[in-house]
C-alpha cells in the first residue's frame, strides 16, 4: 500500500516569507507551487523548484484566480475563457521554470476559491481540465474526492487523482467544512495523524458532525504554512511508515 502526501509551497513573495517549505520537504512526496497569481514570484518559484529537485519531490502547478490581495481565497465570477487562460498561463510559467532545471511537472492542483468553486460547479472544473489537457495531456489534475471535479476530468480525458485533506473537517456530503465553521480546521497533531491513517487504510473518515463517510484518497494534502505544521507532517509521515504504508508520488504508482 502506498500514498502520496502533497503540500502547497512556494507562497513567499518578494521579501515576505510564508510557510516552512524546506523544513517540510523531507516528509512529503509532491508539492504544489504557487504560480504568481495568489502568491509567489519568479524568483520564489525558481527557489522552490530547486529545493524540490534537492529533495527529489514531484512538482505540480498551483494556479489560482488573479487575487494577490486576497491570497486567492475570494470567489470570482470568472468566465470559462478567463479560467482557461489563467490556468494555462500559470501552468506554462511553472513548466518553464521546471524545464530550466531539467524537471517536468507531474500535476496541477488549483488553489483556494478556484478549488472550492470547482468542487461544486462542474463548469469551472471543465475549464480547468481543458486548460490542463491543452498544455500537457500527461499532467494529472488533483480533484477533491468524489466531487464534480472528478467528472470534469473524466469528461475531458485528463489523468486525475482524488484528494483528501489531513487537517480539514468534512461535512456528511463529503465536502470540506467552511473555514468559518468552528472545528473546520483540526489542530491536534495526534488526531490528524490517526485520521489520515484510518483514511488510507479504510477509506473512511468521521465528519464534523461525527458521521462516518467514505472518501477515495489517492493523495493527502498536508499544510506547511501554519504554526506546528511541520510537526504535524512529521507525525503523519512517521505513523504511516510505522504501519508499513509506503510514501511516493502518485505519478509513480
CATH of the domain at 88: 3.20.20.370
Confidence band, pLDDT 50/70/90 cuts, at residue 237: very high
Q: Cβ–Cβ contacts within 10 Å for residue 122, how many? A: 17
Q: What percent of the chain has pLDDT over 90?
A: 87
Give the Cα separation of 213 and 169 in Å (integer): 12
Quick one: pLDDT at residue 15? 85
Residue 171 pLDDT greater than 80, yes or no? yes
Q: Cell match 465553521: residue? A: 181
Give the Cα separation of 68 and 13 in Å (integer): 10
Closest CA relative to residue 113, chosen from 140, 86, 152: 86
- In the chain, the number of structural domains is 1
Single pTM value for the model: 0.95
Give the Cα separation of 174 and 242 in Å (integer): 28
Quick one: pLDDT at residue 91? 98
Element (H, E) at 252: none
Quick one: pLDDT at residue 252? 87
Residues of the domain holding 236? 2-252
227 conformational bin, left if phi > 0, alpha if psi -120 to 50, beta if neither: beta
Closest CA relative to residue 121, chosen from 171, 83, 86, 92: 83
Quick one: pLDDT at residue 178? 84
Quick one: pLDDT at residue 45? 98
Q: Cβ–Cβ contacts within 10 Å for residue 180, how many? A: 6
Give the Cα separation of 53 and 40 in Å (integer): 18
Confidence band, pLDDT 50/70/90 cuts, at residue 34: very high
Amino acid at each position: 500500500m502506498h500514498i502520496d502526501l502533497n503540500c502547497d509551497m512556494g507562497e513567499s513573495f518578494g521579501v515576505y516569507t510564508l510557510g516552512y517549505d524546506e523544513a517540510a520537504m523531507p516528509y512529503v512526496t509532491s508539492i504544489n507551487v504557487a504560480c504568481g497569481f495568489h502568491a509567489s514570484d519568479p524568483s520564489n518559484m525558481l527557489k522552490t523548484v530547486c529545493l524540490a529537485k534537492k529533495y527529489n519531490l514531484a512538482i505540480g502547478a498551483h494556479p489560482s484566480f488573479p487575487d494577490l490581495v486576497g491570497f486567492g481565497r475570494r470567489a470570482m465570477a470568472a468566465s470559462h475563457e478567463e479560467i482557461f487562460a489563467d490556468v494555462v498561463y500559470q501552468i506554462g510559467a511553472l513548466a518553464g521554470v521546471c524545464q530550466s532545471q531539467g524537471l517536468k511537472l507531474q500535476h496541477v492542483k488549483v488553489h483556494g476559491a478556484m478549488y472550492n468553486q470547482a468542487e461544486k460547479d462542474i463548469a469551472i472544473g471543465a475549464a480547468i481540465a481543458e486548460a490542463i489537457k491543452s498544455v500537457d495531456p500527461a499532467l494529472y489534475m488533483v480533484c477533491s474526492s468524489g466531487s464534480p471535479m472528478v467528472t470534469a476530468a473524466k469528461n475531458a480525458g485528463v489523468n486525475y487523482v482524488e484528494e483528501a485533506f489531513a487537517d480539514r473537517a468534512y461535512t456528511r456530503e463529503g465536502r470540506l467544512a467552511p473555514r468559518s465553521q468552528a472545528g473546520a480546521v483540526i489542530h491536534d497533531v495526534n488526531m490528524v495523524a490517526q485520521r489520515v491513517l484510518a483514511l488510507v487504510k479504510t477509506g473512511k473518515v468521521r465528519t464534523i458532525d461525527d458521521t462516518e463517510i467514505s472518501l477515495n484518497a489517492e493523495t493527502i494534502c498536508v499544510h506547511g504554512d501554519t504554526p506546528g505544521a511541520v510537526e504535524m507532517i512529521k507525525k503523519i509521515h512517521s505513523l504511516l511508515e510505522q504501519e508499513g504504508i509506503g510514501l511516493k508520488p502518485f505519478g509513480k504508482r
